[in-house]
Structure 1
Amino acid sequence: MMLNAKFILEETITRLYRDSSPNCMKVADLGCSVGPNTLLVISNIINIVDTACTHLNCDLPTFQFYLNDLYGNDFNTTIKLLPDFYIEYKGNGSCFINVTPGSFYGRLFPSNSINLFHSSNGLHWLSQDPLLGCKDAASLIKGHCHIVSTSPPEVHKAYLKQYQQDFKLFLKSRSEELVPGGAMVLMHLGYHETPRRTSWEIVSLILNDMLMEGLIEEAKLESFNIPVYEPTVEEVKHVIQEEESLFLERLEVVISAWDEGMNIEGGDDDSFHGENGRAEIIFFCEFIVF
């Protein structure tokens, strides 16, 4: 997903640097996760600015990067990768990297302090279970751990409402933290159809099989709900227009296979797609379920 949208990042950063040319470029990666991909974002941004500086015949700025994710994120794993990163980067100017734990559904930085916000594959995660506190939650979503194509309208409305509240708060917070003329590049999962079919339906089938085999309790299954919502293009536009604090300059839809980039050796072999599906489900669900 990040590589598919790299051209948008390139155009945004090039324009941002051409128009403002900050001596210190402050960039926040929201929902940075953990591991090498986190530092890949930093490398990509530095390389893009470097290219822009070459074209403009100016010096590379100092970089200040803020890596943000929830408090439970394993920042230590990423921090251990920094010595090698700094060695590779040495000689290309000054670069400082800090971690900023906390939810991006709220303020994270001082006002007018960030030149560029970047977020990839994080905004479809909601701040809380949309059905939290709903006395009919168990019956509304019975047999499933997430909104699915057969979910009642009440479930869809609850998820959409939570997404709208969260995204509005996100936009308001970022608008206060951006410097004048700053920019954001946001990439997250979305859907072009309603009702929606998702891979979470597979997770529900697996959990129901585990229930039948006595591996989990019914009460725990009924209380388990994954707070994820993949909005349509129109739903995204509606929130941005209604919140009004930021201007939508560009919106691109990138359609790709769910396991794109994971299936290089397997081609179209179904067994490889199946193995990729298994790996993805384990990666996203293991820490939630267990």
Structure 2
Amino acid sequence: MVLTFLGRSGDDPSTKECCYFWELLALALNDLVSQGLIEEEKMDSFNLPLYSPSPTEVKSEILKEGSFDIDALEVNKMILYGQPDPNELSLHNLLNDGGYAVARCIRAVTEPWLAGHFGEAIIDQVFEHYREIVGDRMSKERGEIVNITLSLIKC
């Protein structure tokens, strides 16, 4: 079995590589609260249950469960925007569009949760504002994600 999922490269669960895009989404939502477009009570009760594990945590859980052996485990960083490192996999040229593609990617993952909690009517505004925030950050810093890819063999 081969699995690929978002993770983080190190053991610190608060690193930028695993939570940064969610923090920018929180900024967009909070801005809409301050504009009166989202009710503060709805924002206070919203929880997006996401966790990005480290390779150490993934190995530990697989070994503890015991049904599979790890054939291979790879950690890959992908630059979504900013100055690419020539030694890393990069989507820089594909996603250098003022935040549009990043916003579409995050929207694909979160829209059902957001629409279910805040209502369909606000979704376009949330992601337009999110796109603006990401676009602004693109000129100042590098945004990247970490993928963990595993090849497992049934014991």
- CA offset at residue 203 of structure 1? 0.6
> Quick check: which one's strand share is greater?
2
- Unmatched segments (≥5 aa) in structure 2: 82-89, 116-155
2:52 counterpart residue number: 230
Between the aligned partners of 2:49 and 2:39, the Cα distance in structure 1 is: 20
Between the aligned partners of 2:112 and 2:72, the Cα distance in structure 1 is: 35
After TM superposition, the structure 1 = structure 2 runs for residues 204-223 of structure 1, keeping only pairs within 5 Å, are 204-223=26-45
Contact kept in structure 2, 1:192 and 1:233, CA below 8 Å: yes
Between the aligned partners of 1:208 and 1:225, the Cα distance in structure 2 is: 13
TM-score under structure 1 length normalisation: 0.32
Q: Across the two proteins, how many residue pairs are aligned to each other?
A: 102
Between the aligned partners of 1:216 and 1:223, the Cα distance in structure 2 is: 12
Larger Rg: 1
- CA offset at residue 189 of structure 1? 0.8
Contact kept in structure 2, 1:262 and 1:276, CA below 8 Å: no
Contact kept in structure 1, 2:7 and 2:54, CA below 8 Å: yes
Give the number of the structure with larger relative contact order, counting CA–CA contacts within 8 Å between residues 6 or more apart: 2
For 1:220, give the aligned amino acid.
Answer: K
State which of 96, 109, 114 in structure 2 corresponds to 1:289: 114
The Cα offsets for residues 75-124 of structure 1, whole Å up to 9 and x where unpaired, read as xxxxxxxxxxxxxxxxxxxxxxxxxxxxxxxxxxxxxxxxxxxxxxxxxx
1:256 counterpart residue number: 78
1:186 counterpart residue number: 3
For 1:288, give the aligned amino acid.
Answer: W
- Unmatched segments (≥5 aa) in structure 1: 1-183
Between the aligned partners of 2:46 and 2:34, the Cα distance in structure 1 is: 16
TM-score under structure 2 length normalisation: 0.58
Matched, 1:243 2:65: yes
Alignment partner of 2:7: what SS? coil
Between the aligned partners of 1:247 and 1:281, the Cα distance in structure 2 is: 32
- CA offset at residue 242 of structure 1? 1.1
CA RMSD of aligned residues (A): 2.1
What is the percentage of aligned positions where both structures have the same residue?
35
The Cα offsets for residues 129-180 of structure 1, whole Å up to 9 and x where unpaired, read as xxxxxxxxxxxxxxxxxxxxxxxxxxxxxxxxxxxxxxxxxxxxxxxxxxxx
For 1:211, give the aligned amino acid.
Answer: V
